[in-house]
Amino acid sequence: MAEGLGLREVGKSDFVLLDEISIESFMNNLKLRFQKGKIYTYVGEVVVSVNPYRTMDIYGPDTVKQYQGREFYECPPHLFAIGDAAYKSMKRQSKDTCIVISGESGAGKTEASKIIMRYIAAVTNVSQRQEVERVKNILLQTNCILEAFGNAKTNRNDNSSRFGKYMDINFDFKGDPIGGHINNYLLEKSRVVSQQPGERNFHSFYQLLSGAPDPQLKKMHLSRSPQVYTYTCPSQQESNPGPFPISDKAEFKAVQTAMKSVGFTREEYATVYSIIAAILHLGNVEFLAEDEDSCEVANQDALAAAAELLSTTEEELTKALCFRVVAARGEVMTKGHTQQQACYGRDAFAKAIYEHLFTWIVSRINDVIAVKSTRHQHGKDTVIGVLDIYGFEIFDNNNLEQLCINYCNEKLQQLFIELVLKQEQEEYQREGITWTNIDYFNNKIICDLVEQPHKGIIAILDEACLSVGNITDKMFLQAMNQKLSNHEHYSSRQLVPTDKTLEHSRDFRIRHYAGNVTYSVEGFIDKNKDDLFQDFKRLLYNSTDPVISAMWPEGKLSITEVTKRPLTACTLFKNSMIQLVSNLASKVPYYVRCIKPNEQKSPVLFDNQRCQHQVEYLGLLENVRVRRAGFCNRQHYGRFLQRYKMISQYTWPNHRLASDQAAVQVLVQEKGFKHDVAYGKTKIFIRTPQTLYQLEENRAKLIPGIVLFIQKMWRGGIARMRARKMRAIYLIMRRYRQYKMRSFLVDLLDRFHDVRNMADYGKSVAWPRPPAVLDEFVAQLRKAHNGWWARHIIAQIPERDRKEVRLKSIAYGKLNRQRKDWGMNQRWRGNYLGLSEDIQKAKLFNNSLNTLVAHDKFREVLFSAHVKKVNHHNKSSDRALLVTDKFLYKLDPKKGYKAMKQGTPISQVTGLSVTPGQDQLIIVHLAGGNDLVLCVTAIMPRHDQRVPELMAVLCDAHKRGNKKDLKVTVSDRLQCMLGNKNRTVTVRSHDKGAGVTFRKDGNAGLVLVGTGSSQ
């Protein structure tokens, strides 16, 4: 269901939904999904994982979010789903959970466990607490360390776990990891001294040789080539293991970083790799036979290097390798070893050193990640266990290790079937559904064959190991043949003489649930005894390195102390398996079944026979039958309605019935499925996959329309929300503008409320800065205020002076501060000729004026003065200028101020030009193209200014008559038109006594010489 049970899924995402429950249909579905890149498939709540042998982009943060908090069937099958299910069950129900990962070597168990741990780390500690983050990082880093010292390259897997690992992750009441604990099982220590052809020793040896810096190797007396050392290049190797796809050098650095992160001290780190180096040197130690009962070390260099690295002396190490101290009836004797015994002791010593090192590393990690107990603890701490343990093994030569590994898988398979059946039965009883008995293969009989007291294989082997005398492996086989002759799952050549695949006096066969496995008894006795002379234990306990000494606490017993016979290797393993199974049975289990698709590690090849064998021994088909025995699917009523309510008019969009169960019943009856379902107390149970397909098909037809409807409503909702926001924004803006305007106006009123009583009528009051929206209003307001202010100021001026003040204000505005002295402080009299002190001249001017008034009917004389004029022939002449309210006249002073021509209307004046200096030059621009170029003369007092007054008079008269402002140009170089020709007029100081005159300056220039105040 996780991929949606529509037609678009690849095969069946859940094997329970297969139309036919057979090995053929199971394999076809598994193969189809593998070929389409779907490496995960469900069997109910069990994840079947096929090793893809390639990197897949399905584990990133986006995928984590996709599975976090979702139900099992809501997303495609994935390891994240089972990790989330275990975490949710642990957090919601405060129950301990465990995830059991099984499969054969190379099926991807270790990678699966790391993926699950990374997922759990990603979804926890949302509050980012430092201590929780530290624990998470350590839990993730432990994988790197344990893989280096516990994994090796085998013919089936480049990174095969050669030990079983069960990790408990402890969580606090909030669901954050606060610690953990690791248990390791049955390290394959025999690999230290010998490997199958094409395989390697543990990674740690090669990582040291490849990754350690040269000074460190020199200090350890090592060379980089593994071929130099017996334990990394044994003589029985028929072929070179070939290049290793993982960089040992890079992994060495990664392990360094991980050990530092976990908390290994520098001294501990140095000791760990000193022990690895010591084992390599120990493997190169050879012996020469002195006589039948003694031997000596043949190469002292290797022995000396090993002794130095183990922090002991050459003499003590030689004595432990070549002699054995025996205590008998209180007497201590030294007994020499034969060459064969010394080699056996050396190898046993090397295996024991590595095993003790690995156990110490695990215990050291456990010390670091142990849950810190506090007095103030809230709620209950819970646990998620992750079991990554070796899968079922069938080799050409199977020995005691394979028997223990396969016995472990038998125990886990027994637990798997029992717990699955138990869960099914409990769920049926809880929901009030009738339980149907299911026939399945119960492998308890095989477990008993191995572990039963007094009768099982382990008991028979222990008895042989404890017997006095020289008990051989053949004698052990004979004992099994006698006691197990009637067992249907045990056979040997003696019991079945016709079976020539079994060797006489060597082989026996067990019919496991996964298939028949033939075991060779050679080495069973020695491996089970796992003898290590006490001399070696005392040797390393007395090492001067405190880390090495702490690894061998059993060495503190003196030679004369009598100790209890230790338990055999198989008994220890059996006890640990019983404890492990008991621990798992107390938790809510989740399962990952890993499958290896081919032996070539190809991402495209699917070996049907190989995969079918794994499916059979993993019991996956039995699991499907268990899930399908009653009902193929079950869901809570609420979840069922949430998924299928749209297919019924009575439940869409929400039902109004008494309960969810009643609503589900109405929906099922409407669709005609009532005979294929059963109703529990909280769940609906669906019997056949066809009903589920019909429900999904009906749902799939309606989903597009619902999606469009939701999109429409969503878009409408978004648009309405945006509209409400915009209206709110505009309202806020409007209210804010009102507030700003109100604040501005209140401030303005406060500042100007008493301006009538101020001396300057508010001229000195600073205007507050208005809001942008009031800029135009404030400009008009300031204009109005200026007018009001001006009226009040003018009201204070005497009536006779108002005209003069108005003209001066016009001049001030037009000159715009470009002329420094413009006559502001002098009296402007206007009609200077009529008011002249020369009575004779005044009389002549007034007579001429009366004649002009009678002729032209003007009402007022605005300005009159003597001027120097220049014409288009560059000829200068003395004239008088008369400005009235209508006309501008040129008068001839020599002829009694007679008008020389008709007056020029004021309306024909187009502009004025003056200089910024003290001269009295002014150009009156006329519409006819023949401008008046004038210099006011005969000024008394001498330093008075007449030009600004004349300019103001002309501007005022022009505006009154034409309602337009005259343009006034202020410049050092004035442009004009004389005789329709462009001329440039400038001012230059005249020679002393030369008077005022215009002179030609080049072809198109005139220059005024003199200041205009001398005549």
DSSP string, 874-899: --EEEEEEEEESSEEEEEEGGGTSEE
- pLDDT tens digits, residue range 105-140? 788 888 898 899 889 888 886 666 676 677 778 877
> Is 245:153 a contact under the CB 8 Å cutoff?
no
> Is 594:391 a contact under the CB 8 Å cutoff?
yes
Tokens of 205: 């040896």
At 8, the pLDDT band (50, 70, 90 cuts) reads low
Residue 88's pLDDT is 85
Which of 532, 484, 216, 159 has the alpha carbon at shortest distance from 356? 532
Tokens of 989: 């100081």
**DSSP label at 768?**
P
**182 - beta bridge partners?**
167
**Burial zone of 58 (CB within 10 Å; 0-12 exposed, 13-18 middle, 19+ buried):** middle
Q: Is 1013 among the residues known to form the active site? A: no
pTM here is 0.64
SS3 312: coil
Q: How many C-beta atoms surround the C-beta of residue 313 within 10 A? A: 15
- pLDDT tens digits, residue range 258-304? 999 888 999 999 999 999 999 999 999 999 988 878 899 998 999 99
Distance CA 1013, CA 1 (A): 113
> Is 338:294 a contact under the CB 8 Å cutoff?
yes
Residue 269's pLDDT is 92
Question: Annotated catalytic residue: which of 106, 108, 345, 680?
Answer: 106
Considering the chain, what is the average pLDDT of its residues? Answer: 86
Question: Annotated catalytic residue: which of 29, 89, 97, 105?
Answer: 105
Residue type for position 374: T
Buried b (16+ CB within 10 A) or exposed e, 268-296: bebbbbbbbbbbbbbbbbbbeeeeeebbe
Q: Is 393 among the residues known to form the active site? A: yes
- pLDDT tens digits, residue range 760-811? 888 888 999 998 888 899 999 989 988 888 888 888 888 888 888 888 889 9
Q: Is 391 among the residues known to form the active site? A: yes
Q: How many C-beta atoms surround the C-beta of residue 573 within 10 A? A: 24
> Is 341:290 a contact under the CB 8 Å cutoff?
no
Pairing of strands 967-970, 909-914: parallel
Residue 238's pLDDT is 46
Residue type for position 51: N
Question: Annotated catalytic residue: which of 157, 406, 409, 543?
Answer: 157
- pLDDT tens digits, residue range 31-88? 999 999 999 999 888 899 999 999 999 999 999 999 988 877 778 899 999 999 898 8
- pLDDT tens digits, residue range 642-681? 888 888 888 888 888 888 889 988 888 888 888 888 888 8
- pLDDT tens digits, residue range 945-990? 889 999 999 999 999 888 888 999 999 999 999 888 899 999 886 5
Question: Which residues contact residue 192 at a Cβ distance below 8 angstroms, ignoring those fewer than 6 apart?
Answer: 201, 202, 231, 279, 350, 351, 354
Question: Annotated catalytic residue: which of 29, 102, 110, 154?
Answer: 110
Question: Annotated catalytic residue: which of 150, 385, 391, 456?
Answer: 391
Distance CA 580, CA 576 (A): 6
Distance CA 685, CA 416 (A): 23
At 874, the pLDDT band (50, 70, 90 cuts) reads confident
Distance CA 596, CA 610 (A): 8
Q: Given a cut of 90, is residue 696 above it in pLDDT?
A: no
Distance CA 709, CA 106 (A): 49
> Is 18:688 a contact under the CB 8 Å cutoff?
no
Higher pLDDT, 562 or 728: 728
Which of 143, 186, 89 has the alpha carbon at shortest distance from 411? 186
- pLDDT tens digits, residue range 504-517? 999 999 998 878 89
Distance CA 635, CA 646 (A): 17
Residue 431's pLDDT is 84
Q: Could you give the maximum distance between any two Cα atoms of the chain, in Å?
A: 172
- pLDDT tens digits, residue range 598-629? 988 899 999 999 899 888 878 788 778 777 76
- pLDDT tens digits, residue range 460-497? 999 998 887 788 999 999 999 999 999 999 999 999 99
Higher pLDDT, 235 or 978: 978
Among 246-255, 396-405, 479-488, 553-562, whose mean pLDDT is lowest? 553-562
Q: Is 160 among the residues known to form the active site? A: yes
Which of 114, 119, 33 has the alpha carbon at shortest distance from 77? 33
Which of 39, 970, 982 has the alpha carbon at shortest distance from 594? 39
Distance CA 726, CA 729 (A): 5
Q: How many C-beta atoms surround the C-beta of residue 182 within 10 A? A: 18
Please state the rounded mean pLDDT for residues 220-233: 92
Distance CA 59, CA 131 (A): 25
Question: Annotated catalytic residue: which of 161, 274, 382, 518?
Answer: 161
Pairing of strands 1005-1009, 981-988: parallel
Distance CA 792, CA 790 (A): 5
The count of residues in the chain is 1015
Tokens of 22: 């057979």
SS3 133: helix
Distance CA 176, CA 479 (A): 54
Q: Given a cut of 90, is residue 549 above it in pLDDT?
A: yes
Please state the rounded mean pLDDT for residues 84-98: 85
Distance CA 448, CA 842 (A): 154
**Could you give the percent of the chain with pLDDT greater than 70?**
93
DSSP letters, 732-758, are HHHHHHHHHHHHHHHHHHHHHTTGGGS
- pLDDT tens digits, residue range 197-207? 888 999 999 99
The 3-state secondary structure of 968-991 reads EEECCCEEEEECCEEEEEEEECCC
Q: Given a cut of 70, is residue 243 above it in pLDDT?
A: no
Query: How many angstroms from the chain centroid is the CA of residue 647?
Result: 40
Residue 1014's pLDDT is 40
Question: Annotated catalytic residue: which of 41, 51, 124, 160?
Answer: 160
Question: Annotated catalytic residue: which of 199, 251, 393, 522?
Answer: 393
Q: Given a cut of 50, is residue 992 above it in pLDDT?
A: no
Residue 47's pLDDT is 93
Please state the rounded mean pLDDT for residues 167-178: 85
**Burial zone of 614 (CB within 10 Å; 0-12 exposed, 13-18 middle, 19+ buried):** buried
Distance CA 140, CA 258 (A): 9
Distance CA 204, CA 276 (A): 8
Tokens of 678: 């059963």
Tokens of 77: 């099958």
At 3, the pLDDT band (50, 70, 90 cuts) reads low
Location of structure tokens 């780390």? 121
Compute the half-sphere exposure of residue 651: CA atoms within 13 Å on the CB side of its CA: 24
Distance CA 968, CA 915 (A): 10
Which of 11, 47, 46, 14 has the alpha carbon at shortest distance from 31? 11
Q: Is 314 among the residues known to form the active site? A: no
The sign one gets for the Cα dihedral 937, 941, 945, 949 is negative
**DSSP label at 74?**
G
Q: CA separation (Å) from 922 to 829, 869, 878?
A: 19, 10, 15
Which of 580, 458, 468 has the alpha carbon at shortest distance from 524? 458
> Is 54:81 a contact under the CB 8 Å cutoff?
no
Distance CA 16, CA 631 (A): 9
Q: Given a cut of 90, is residue 220 above it in pLDDT?
A: yes
Distance CA 165, CA 142 (A): 12
Question: Which residues contact residue 977 at a Cβ distance below 8 angstroms, ignoring those fewer than 6 apart?
Answer: 925, 929, 930, 931, 983
Distance CA 166, CA 182 (A): 6
Query: How many angstroms from the chain centroid is the CA of residue 910?
Result: 77
Compute the half-sphere exposure of residue 999: CA atoms within 13 Å on the CB side of its CA: 12
Phi, psi (rounded to 5 degrees) for 427:
-65, -40
Q: CA separation (Å) from 856 to 380, 859, 884, 908?
A: 119, 9, 10, 16
